[in-house]
Chains A and B, each alone.
Chain A
Amino acid sequence: MTDAATLFDLLLAGSVIALAIASLTVRDMFAAIVLFVIFGLLSALAWVRLSAPDVALAEAAIGTGVTGALLLKTLHHLRYVTGKLGEGQARDLTPIATVPAGVIWANAAFCGMITLGLALAFLGAPQAGPGFDSLVAEAMPASGVDHPVTAVLLNFRAYDTLMEVVVLLAAVIAVWQIERGLSDAPAPALGEVWQGFARLTLPAIVVVGTYLLWKGSEAPGGAFQGGAVLAAVGLLLLLSRIYVPRPAHRGLARWAFVLGTGAFAGVALLVSGGGRVAFEYPAQHAYSLILLIEGLVTISIAVTLAALFHGREPVAAPAPEGRNDT
């Protein structure tokens, strides 16, 4: 049995590396994206094999699902602005401008340095040591939640998580600034079968996303995973044109973008004082505060990722026909 598991792990590791190489070297951009998505799925499986279901969920939902959708949307946009959206010749799209060799080598050097640094850190770490497991286990009663990963992310190392939320906020701000003047590629009409699929899966995705958020306090899950799954609701709504972004919604969207960061930082600062430092939640309210932060951060993540998929600030262009529910 152990041999079968080892064989499977070796095959998995080999496939992940092969897919990474193939995704980087293949000429066709669409094929590269598909290979990247498969690479992400197998990476998620690798995380499961490493007994890290939290990372696996994040990899599957964000690294594969949302990133894959963002890449495909970008390809669609590139084909539109280069005039290659015509069905026939759209399949073998080459980059608009070739990337200078210096940039490629600089990127390769940076990636190599990061890999080398990680390898050195890994090899330099104490082998088979106790790690931080005992420290975390000791502090668990004070964390307010029952799942060690959530306790670390939202309590012990909450500052790091706040920075991750800020990164997402910065990304959407940059996109809304840069893309202001670009013309919008029309979304393809996906037909009735797709509409039916969207209607069938929408409620299920809402339930799964909320469940992941709620379950995060005691089991793998949490704000990022739940937010990414809920972002899929936004993607379905945008693709089905059930929801069409309009300029009037910009104010609401901006509030939704900053909601998570604002609430997270606000709570962190408000609990400080009276002998406590920032992020030091009072023990009797820790659970409620963590749930409040996670809930609001989830909303922000979902709206931000959906806005990134839409790709530009909604402007007063003649909007296509569509029902507008919100």
Chain B
Amino acid sequence: MPDLITFISAALIAAGAVFFIAGTVGLLRFPDTYCRLHALTKADGLGLALIALGIALTASSFGEVFRIALIWFFVAVASATGGHLIATHARRVDRAEGKEGS
């Protein structure tokens, strides 16, 4: 049984890493701020959730699981807020430069 849990945990962490790579590729390759934010906030959010889940499976106590959940929660909230602030600012910049706000 522990082997199965280790396997599932490793699979979840690997899947999370894939999402992080996808988000990073999106950040590097997408054309404008909004697309990049879309790639970064969504893919990394999911990637972090998967990795947190994977680590939580191997945690030794409930306290550890709780702390991992807290870390995930605050990073998720902070990244969503940061993404919103960056997008709002980019939109203002675009409007000031007379571009079409998307």
- The reply on B88 being an interface residue by CB < 8 A is yes
- The reply on B5 being an interface residue by CB < 8 A is no
Q: How far is the CA of A194 from the CA of B89 in the complex (A)?
A: 13
Q: Is the CB of B93 within 8 A of A197?
A: no
Residue ID in chain A nearest B81 by CB atoms: A197
Please encode chain A, from 173 to 206, with 1 for each CB lying within 8 Å of some chain B CB and 0 for all others.
0000000000000000011011011001100100
Q: Is the CB of A88 within 8 A of B96?
A: yes
Please encode chain B, from 7 to 51, with 1 for each CB lying within 8 Å of some chain A CB and 0 for all others.
000000000000000000000000000000000000000000000
Interface of A, secondary structure class, is: helix
- The reply on B62 being an interface residue by CB < 8 A is no
| Residue from A88, A91, A190, A200 whose CB has the most chain B CB atoms within 10 Å | A88
Option from B74, B77, B88, B97 in Cβ contact (under 8 Å) with A191:
B88
- The reply on A3 being an interface residue by CB < 8 A is no
Distance of B63 from chain A, by nearest CB (Å): 14
Q: How far is the CA of A197 from the CA of B82 in the complex (A)?
A: 10
Q: Is the CB of B81 within 8 A of A88?
A: no
Distance of A210 from chain B, by nearest CB (Å): 16
Q: How far is the CA of A87 from the CA of B74 in the complex (A)?
A: 30
Q: How far is the CA of A196 from the CA of B85 in the complex (A)?
A: 12
Q: Is the CB of B81 within 8 A of A194?
A: yes
Q: Is the CB of B93 within 8 A of A87?
A: yes
Within 8 A of A (CB), among B83-100: 84-85, 88-89, 92-93, 95-97
Option from B78, B88, B95, B96 in Cβ contact (under 8 Å) with A197:
B78
How many A-B Cβ pairs are below 8 Å?
A: 30
Q: Is the CB of A87 within 8 A of B92?
A: yes
Q: How far is the CA of A200 from the CA of B81 in the complex (A)?
A: 11
Residues of A near B96 (CB, < 8 A) are 86-88
Q: How far is the CA of A311 from the CA of B97 in the complex (A)?
A: 30
Q: How far is the CA of A300 from the CA of B33 in the complex (A)?
A: 40
Q: A190-B85, A193-B84, A194-B81 are in contact. Are A201 and B74 (CB under 8 A)?
A: yes
Q: How far is the CA of A193 from the CA of B87 in the complex (A)?
A: 12
Q: How far is the CA of A68 from the CA of B89 in the complex (A)?
A: 19
Q: How far is the CA of A197 from the CA of B76 in the complex (A)?
A: 11
Q: A87-B92, A200-B77, A204-B74 are in contact. Are A194 and B97 (CB under 8 A)?
A: no
Q: Is the CB of B77 within 8 A of A193?
A: no
20 residue pairs A–B, Cβ–Cβ below 8 Å: A86-B96, A87-B89, A87-B92, A87-B93, A87-B95, A87-B96, A87-B97, A88-B93, A88-B96, A88-B97, A191-B85, A193-B81, A193-B85, A194-B81, A194-B84, A194-B85, A196-B81, A200-B77, A201-B77, A201-B78
Residues of B within 8 A of A (CB): 74, 77-78, 81, 84-85, 88-89, 92-93, 95-97
Extra contacts, 7 of them, besides A87-B97, A88-B97, A194-B81 (Cβ < 8 A), are A87-B93, A193-B85, A194-B84, A196-B81, A200-B77, A201-B74, A201-B78
Closest 9 pairs between A and B when the two form their complex, measured CB to CB: A87-B96, A197-B81, A88-B96, A87-B93, A193-B84, A88-B97, A87-B92, A193-B81, A200-B77
